A and B are shown apart, each in its own frame.
Chain A
């Protein structure tokens, strides 16, 4: 028996259908207006260098948690992933859940920012944002939600400034950077980071994109475009696709010194596990984190494997540690319909119980 039996007429039919969709889809692509992202109304309450701190405006009539929630996103890619479209917005669902949501937008660093260090980001920018929110809200302590690399930053920040943090949530956050299934980590260990940063100054977003796409090159740079032909005729799905495509390739450059330290201390020395991370003159000790801690990870995360996140259990000094696992991937946890129904409400509930 031949396991491949594609009748010529069926092949011709598939080809004709593919061509028809391409032709029809081209019109939809040309008609597609500017792709909007970051859909929830917001107010910028603080600006500094390239950074902007936004406060999101919730619907009237929703009882607000008096303790504000600051979202600390990664430096990689853009934070509008958490608010990508109206029916897929973690931010909006947190507002609906009664949270007073702020988020840091790191902007696009350029050459003038290449000397920014991790200390500048964590003890500088994040701390000053926290101060703005504390002052504005009149609260001694605020809640922090750290996403991916922003989660690692939030852990460091809380370890150094515990008195300002009431509750900490980490989402798809790498803690153990050297789990056996962490492909990125094994790649980066052989790269001469000093040579890279000394050569490039800031690390281009294109280099990071290449690295991420290299995790699944055939699916992410080939098959994806064949699948796209399937959605070309559906305007709404096409726009969703284009929004994701925009986000994937909207990759800011990384401030060189910060990148150097992050790769060396976190990836190469696995500093959150082994210790030895110093920010300015202070050592980060996760045992200093004593506030309630919620750790959320994605079961099919190919960037931050579940074990890399779960390693947080037992590393901190808190007596209130919880985990939530999401049956999806690193991006799906913000944008999938299933995530919208489960993750923001779970965060809101957990915070309200502790505020």
Chain B
């Protein structure tokens, strides 16, 4: 048992952090968050975009935002390696910079999402947010809330305290509901752990990419080759990242981490679904489980109907092939000929003279 009880400053701090994060999300969502200090070029681009973007349709705005964000990214990289050093009138010490980047990434560790390295180095690490950003976009489509709200939940609390809370038995009339809530919290915690593991994995491959870039630059030095444009540097960096990423995500370790993240997200969503179903049931409204049952039954009925239709067609074919049916068809055909022959002479057609046999 821990020395401090659960209801101590830890929890208050945890709650405060939680609301700060939520406020942060809201500020970002509403666009009221104060902008970070950027280079003059970035600021000019940002001003231009703010001026023109309201008149741009949403679909085009999304494209442009991506191009602007990536443009910033690739010039940040160039400025980091050349701009700042040249401002100081001396060539950039690229080996020291690579070392510093690796150190920043490693110190970010499992909290890779919350790195606080300064200036350009922070932006550099932001590049490794791309896979998270992709996950977040996808997760938001599966969630009731915008973005991936679980991502920004605090994770600094003592796991054992949290686990103790989750394992406390429910009591009284609402015991079942308490158990449901506890289960949900457990699943939240597992998702958070899975996301942290995912984050750590990317921090590792981020560091590895910087080391690989350092080696490549070293090789260029050895060969007397020079990168003389921001674009070449950016393309080299992307190629290096993709190479390291490609190697690491082929491992069984990544497959397990990725699977754990998806499974944990599904666990939370599944449990939410169960709880929502219970509420719907209490309101005497159709639940998702009921609808699924009906969907399955309808599809089974459709299959059975198709089978019966096919059997009917088959049996009709067999029946038509029977000698008796052939004889009857022949007789009917002859009768039809006899019946229809006089009609040629009549200008008025009478209904009801058609039979199945004559079709």
A183 close to B250 (CB less than 8 A): yes
Nearest CB of chain B from residue A346's CB, rounded to whole Å? 31
A5 close to B227 (CB less than 8 A): yes
Task: Give chain B residues whose Cβ lies under 8 Å from the Cβ of A222.
Answer: 70, 73, 127, 130, 238
B-facing mask of A2-16, CB < 8 A → 1, else 0?
Answer: 111111101110110
Interface-located stretch among A111-119, A135-143, A286-294? A111-119
Task: Give chain A residues whose Cβ lies under 8 Å from the Cβ of B224.
Answer: 1
Q: Does A29 interact with chain B (Cβ within 8 Å)?
A: yes
Nearest CB of chain A from residue B65's CB, rounded to whole Å? 9
Task: Give chain A residues whose Cβ lies under 8 Å from the Cβ of B270.
Answer: 195, 198-199
Residue of A nearest to B94 (CB): A4
How many A-B pairs fall under 8 Å by CB? Answer: 203
Q: Does A57 interact with chain B (Cβ within 8 Å)?
A: no
B-facing mask of A205-238, CB < 8 A → 1, else 0?
Answer: 0110110011011110111011011000000000
Q: Is the interface of A mostly helix, strand, loop or mixed?
A: helix
Q: Does B256 interact with chain A (Cβ within 8 Å)?
A: yes
Q: Does B26 interact with chain A (Cβ within 8 Å)?
A: no
**Looking at chain A, what size class is its interface with the partner chain?**
35 or more
Q: Does A191 interact with chain B (Cβ within 8 Å)?
A: yes
Residue of A nearest to B75 (CB): A15
Q: When the two chains form the complex, which single residue of A4, A186, A190, A245 contacts B250, counting CB atoms closer than 8 Å?
A: A186
Q: Given A115-B299, A124-B306, A223-B235, A6–B82 Cβ distance below 8 Å?
A: yes
Residue of A nearest to B307 (CB): A280
Q: Does A189 interact with chain B (Cβ within 8 Å)?
A: yes
Residue of B nearest to A189 (CB): B255
Q: Whole-angstrom distance between the alpha carbons of A22 and B48 in the complex?
A: 11
B-facing mask of A66-109, CB < 8 A → 1, else 0?
Answer: 00000000000000000000000000000000000000000000
B70 close to A11 (CB less than 8 A): no
Task: Give chain A residues whose Cβ lies under 8 Å from the Cβ of B242.
Answer: 216, 218-219
Q: Does B245 interact with chain A (Cβ within 8 Å)?
A: yes
Interface-located stretch among B15-23, B136-144, B164-172, B333-341? B136-144
Q: Whole-angstrom distance between the alpha carbons of A11 and B87 in the complex?
A: 13
Nearest CB of chain A from residue B254's CB, rounded to whole Å? 8
B70 close to A191 (CB less than 8 A): no
Q: Given A115-B295, A187-B259, A6–B234 Cβ distance below 8 Å?
A: no
The 4 closest A-B pairs by CB, nearest first: A190-B259, A210-B138, A115-B299, A3-B220
23 contacts between A and B (CB under 8 A): A4-B217, A11-B75, A22-B68, A26-B60, A111-B291, A112-B295, A114-B292, A183-B249, A183-B250, A186-B252, A191-B263, A192-B266, A198-B270, A209-B138, A216-B245, A217-B245, A219-B238, A221-B133, A223-B234, A225-B67, A225-B70, A226-B71, A228-B63
